[in-house]
Amino acid sequence: MPIKYLINNIEFQSKKECEIYIKNILQKNEITIDDRRFIYQLLKMHPKWHDKSKNIIKRNYKGVNITKIYGNNCFVILNKDNTYETISYHKCLGKSDNVRENVVSALRECINIQIAEYKLEVFLNKNIVVCELCNLELINNSETHVDHINKFRDIINNFFIENNILIDEIPIKKCGCVYRINDDDLFDKWYDYHEKNAKLRLLCKQCNLKIEYL
């Protein structure tokens, strides 16, 4: 496969592969200087980088970081006046601001806690946790992924059908660098629906990457 992105000397064959790598950095408790070099190279690909970075402290890895905003880790540009500018990595990868994608990310954001709790619970209840596809022993870190056995998009589609809602009708608002469902009833309804219908399992990173390509 041809190289789709080359960022900080790391080759990615697809956008998906690159996104998974980025999400892994976003989940880390502590990032290395090399991670920050990667982030700097990535954020420079933003179409409005020139404008967004006009007050940046330093034109290298020191000018970027990860900050928690509304409970979510976001990439930011650090400004000379101690303020920061949030920056969407989706746009750095050439994704436009697509309503459907934003609604899907708001729906995902809503159930993130269920995903985290599922993972925690499996590790609390089992002495040895293995990847359900390849039997590799897993540890409780970002290399272990929670996978939807019944696809996330199918759960969403069924939710829409059962509740007679159209995707464009979901009110969302931007909080920092993520989208949230901007309706408490709908938020609760979706939260419960996902909890009841999602079938989850733990996979190693490699297996999860493989099935995401299928």
- Applying CB under 5 A, the span of 8-16, 59-67, 127-135, 171-179 interacting with Zn ion comes to 127-135
- Applying CB under 5 A, the span of 16-24, 62-70, 78-86, 130-138 interacting with Zn ion comes to 130-138
Q: Output the smallest distance, CB 131 to Zn ion, in A.
A: 3
Q: Output the smallest distance, CB 138 to Zn ion, in A.
A: 8
If one asks whether residue 133 binds Zn ion (CB under 5 A), the answer comes out as yes
Q: Output the smallest distance, CB 5 to Zn ion, in A.
A: 25
Q: Output the smallest distance, CB 84 to Zn ion, in A.
A: 37
Count Cβ atoms below 10 Å from residue 162 Cβ, excluding itself. 10
Among 134, 143, 163, 167, indicate the residue that binds Zn ion (CB under 5 A).
134
For 134, how many CA atoms within 13 A lie in the half-sphere containing its CB? 13
Q: Output the smallest distance, CB 212 to Zn ion, in A.
A: 13
- Applying CB under 5 A, the span of 43-51, 128-136, 140-148, 189-197 interacting with Zn ion comes to 128-136
Please state, in angstroms and rounded to a whole number, the distance separating the CA atoms of residues 132 and 2: 30
- Applying CB under 5 A, the span of 47-55, 74-82, 83-91, 196-204 interacting with Zn ion comes to 196-204
Please state, in angstroms and rounded to a whole number, the distance separating the CA atoms of residues 33 and 44: 17
CB 109, CB 179: distance < 8 Å: yes
Compute the Cα dihedral for 138, 143, 149, 155 and give only its sign: positive
Among 66, 106, 110, 131, indicate the residue that binds Zn ion (CB under 5 A).
131
The structure tokens listed for 149 are 């056995």
Question: Whose Cβ is closer to Zn ion: residue 115's or residue 186's?
Answer: 115
Question: Whose Cβ is closer to Zn ion: residue 104's or residue 136's?
Answer: 136
Non-local (6+) Cβ contacts of 107 within 8 A are 156, 170, 181, 190, 194
Locus of tokens 């993520």: 178
Count Cβ atoms below 10 Å from residue 145 Cβ, excluding itself. 23
What would you measure as the largest C-alpha separation in the chain, in angstroms?
52
Question: Whose Cβ is closer to Zn ion: residue 31's or residue 122's?
Answer: 122
If one asks whether residue 207 binds Zn ion (CB under 5 A), the answer comes out as yes
Strand partners, 146: 202
Q: Output the smallest distance, CB 146 to Zn ion, in A.
A: 13
Residue numbers 136-165 binding Zn ion by CB under 5 A: 136
The structure tokens listed for 183 are 């309706």
Residue ranges binding Zn ion (CB under 5 A): 131, 133-134, 136, 204, 207
